[in-house]
Amino acid sequence: MINITFPDGSVKQYNDGITSIEIAEQISPRLAKEVYAATVNGEVIDLTRPINSDATLKLHKWDDVEGKHAFWHSSAHLLAEALESLYPGIKFGIGPAIENGFYYDVDPGEGKAITDNELVVIENRMKELAAKNLAFIRREVSKEAAIALFSKKGDQYKVELIGELEDGTISLYTQGSFTDLCRGPHLSSTEPIKAIKLLNVAGAYWRGNEKNRMLTRIYGITYPKQKLLDDYLLFLEEARKRDHRRIGKELELFTFSPRVGMGLPLWMPRGAELRQNLINFMTKVLKKRGYAIVATPHIGDVNLYKTSGHYEKYGKDSFQPMSTPQEGEQFMLKPMNCPHHCEIFNATPHSYRDLPYRMAEFGTVYRYEQSGELHGLTRVRSFTQDDAHHFCRPDQLKEEFKSIIDLVQFIFKAVNLSEFTAQISLRDNENKEKYIGSDENWEKAEKAIIEAAEEKKLETTVVLGEAAFYGPKLDFMVKDAIGRKWQLGTIQVDYNLPERFDLTYNGSDNQKHRPVMIHRAIFGSMERFIAVLIENTSGKFPLWLAPEKAVVLPISEKFNDYALKILDFLNNSDICTLIDDRSEKIGKKI
RNA sequence: GCCGAUGUAGCUCAGUUGGUCAGAGCAGCUGAUUUGUAAUCUGCAGGUCGGGGGUUCGAAUCCCUUCAUCGGCUCCA
């Protein structure tokens, strides 16, 4: 007998070798019908795998991510089976579950393509197969056997994957006539898969590397009930109505013109008013918080960016330098404001007493984005950052960083953007050559961010390899109408530019010291922020923000009160208590 | 940039297999009416069917090319 501990702490005894599904059956037959996977001793496994020792057990129904994932991952295998029967000789890459549904990357063969209108045929085949209630059968094999199996089939992608796995950890799953390399877990059978929709086809590079062959990715979603699928499709339809490109056109906020150039937004009067309202509000808040507003040119000498290191990193992928007619100079459209701000800092001597020096600019920058990356206002080639740089003493770094977290939260609240996630982006220690600066400084910077976020009790996810090339960062992401995440605010710690620009301040010891630099943007860019704001509010703005004639709808009375306070603030009455004003505590007086 | 798709009046869209296929609704303008609040009715105007080239007696409809857009991939200082 073995002891099984349930999530509520209760313990029951079962025969050695019992499976999760059998346990579920004993609890209630209905539960058994609704569970899709189980977490046993912390590992998510198939319901049909025997349990041979004392264990903790959690059964996953549809409501659990683990349940959905088993469901969708199994659906991906079903898709693969359908594809194999319809396209003989098709090769398979990977086919995981994702946040909403699943996909499978396939190679239909040289010169062949799978197009949108074939999806319904594939979908129907999936339905036929699912209706057969075929069991997913797991089997563990040696590496040699696995390679032999997939080599024989000609699945070079699978062979490549197996090559990187450790012998003894390789499992295969078979349903019907289809066998796939897979870690699992899976449903017990295809039976629960009742509603199936293939959503679209897209290209995707094998292993995410653009040097590799491009495979065909088929996205789909499945549900245990048709109603759930109908609801999801309805949601997508509704979401499309909130698309900022659509609302932007309807409300005449902005437009694009091929004659002006792709990715170059044109703000129409009402959009410009909205944008200006945001800028005005932010400017007042920044002044209250001890920022100095500066302005810098739209171009800069190439050597400026060589000094900063940006040229080496991004020069080839930027709008190329322009030359002057006579002097032989080279200038670039500025892709970022930081180097200019460093030179402003350098223009005057600084005492340790005067730090932090907070320098802000609504700076328009120009970045060459590949044509296929452009997307409404969220990804453009010309955009205006609400950029700022804090030059501070090392001992001020953390407090300064925390004050910016406050600011982000305050600003997001002011526009009623309540749902955002915070992501800490660190260096990828495997690929250090992608980054500049010493290990010591990187470690200090990363530590500062992690601690600041912790002390602000900010819920964060940590992602390795997403740092900027000069430093780690904390990003604030907001979802658009259909759930894509966009980075808005960002706070970045940088020890490198101060070195490169030889920035100094005089310490209390009358010696030169190196300041630490924080790069930060709250909106991120006016363009993207407004885009995401539109999609989150369906184009209904708080009173203080709305352009003339736009629909003003306070979302809730609670928010309305807040919005009115902001209006007062903008009208210069003295209600500044709504801002957690840290500048007096830690900043220089203005 | 790569894979797939799309591109018809300001907007949303119809246009079967190439031959009255250049249309409708909304918006706009005109006039009338007034049962008032996204009013009703009359009339008008709006497009060389994204651009260019080709096939054909004839193309919005087929082919090529180019531009732009959409969904992804890659990238995102």
pTM of the model: 0.92
CA of A216 to C1' of B3 (A): 7
Closest nucleotide to A264's CA, by C1' atom?
B68
CB of A336 within 7 Å of some strand B atom: yes
> In chain A, how many H helices and how many E strands?
18, 30
d(CA A133, CA A122): 18
B50 C1' closest Cα residue: A258
d(CA A205, CA A25): 43
pLDDT (average), residues A159-184:
92
Task: Give, for A491, the enclosing helix (H) or strand (E).
Answer: strand A485-494
Q: Inter-axis angle of helices A397-414 and A557-570, to 10 degrees?
A: 110
A20 close to A6: Cβ distance less than 8 angstroms: no
Nucleic strand B contacts from chain A, 518-577, CB < 7 Å = 519
Closest nucleotide to A434's CA, by C1' atom?
B77
CA of A337 to C1' of B61 (A): 52
Cβ atoms within 10 Å, residue A326: 6
pLDDT of residue A391: 98
The total number of residues shown for chain A amounts to: 590
> Is the pLDDT assigned to residue A51 strictly greater than 60?
yes
Q: What is the pLDDT of residues A325-368, one digit of tens each?
A: 988 899 999 999 999 999 999 999 999 999 999 999 999 999 99
CB of A270 within 7 Å of some strand B atom: no
d(CA A134, CA A205): 31
DSSP lists the bridge partners of residue A399 as: none
Q: List chain B nucleotides near protein: any atom < 7 Å from a Cβ.
A: 1-5, 11-12, 67-77
Nucleic strand B contacts from chain A, 181-200, CB < 7 Å = 200
pLDDT-derived band of residue A150, with 50, 70 and 90 as boundaries? Answer: very high
pLDDT (average), residues A467-491:
96
Closest nucleotide to A366's CA, by C1' atom?
B77
Alpha helices in A213-352 (DSSP H): 226-241, 244-250, 269-288, 302-308, 310-314, 338-346
d(CA A498, CA A191): 62
A122 close to A83: Cβ distance less than 8 angstroms: yes
Q: What is the pLDDT of residues A232-253, one digit of tens each?
A: 999 998 888 899 999 999 888 9
| A453 contacts: CB under 8 Å, gap ≥ 6 | A405, A422, A424, A460, A474
Distance of CA A190 to the CA centre of its chain: 32
Nucleic strand B contacts from chain A, 88-127, CB < 7 Å = 113, 115-116
Considering chain A, what percentage of its residues have pLDDT values greater than 70?
95
**What b-and-e string marks burial along A288-297, b requiring 16 or more CB atoms within 10 Å of the CB?**
ebbbeebebe
CB of A202 within 7 Å of some strand B atom: yes
Q: Which residues of A are catalytic?
A: 338, 367, 385, 387, 389, 473, 519
A171 close to A138: Cβ distance less than 8 angstroms: yes
d(CA A160, CA A188): 28
State residue A29 phi and psi, 5-degree precision: -60, -35
> Is the pLDDT assigned to residue A558 strictly greater than 90?
no
A512 close to A503: Cβ distance less than 8 angstroms: no
The CA R_g of chain A, rounded to the nearest whole Å, is 28
CA of A470 to C1' of B36 (A): 65
The single residue listed with the structure tokens 């996205």 is: A219
- The CA–CA distances, whole Å, from A391 to A155, A290, A497, A544, A589 equal 55, 13, 11, 32, 15
pLDDT of residue A543: 76
Peptide linkage before A356 cis (omega within 30 of 0)? yes
Look at residues A85, A83, A212 and name the one whose alpha carbon lies nearest to residue A157: A212
| Higher per-residue pLDDT: A258 or A478 | A478
Distance of CA A417 to the CA centre of its chain: 16
CA of A262 to C1' of B40 (A): 44
pLDDT of residue A560: 67
Task: Of A156-170, A489-503, A511-525, A561-575, give the lowest mean pLDDT range.
Answer: A561-575
Alpha helices in A523-577 (DSSP H): 526-537, 557-570
CB of A14 within 7 Å of some strand B atom: no
d(CA A332, CA A311): 10
Cβ atoms within 10 Å, residue A142: 11
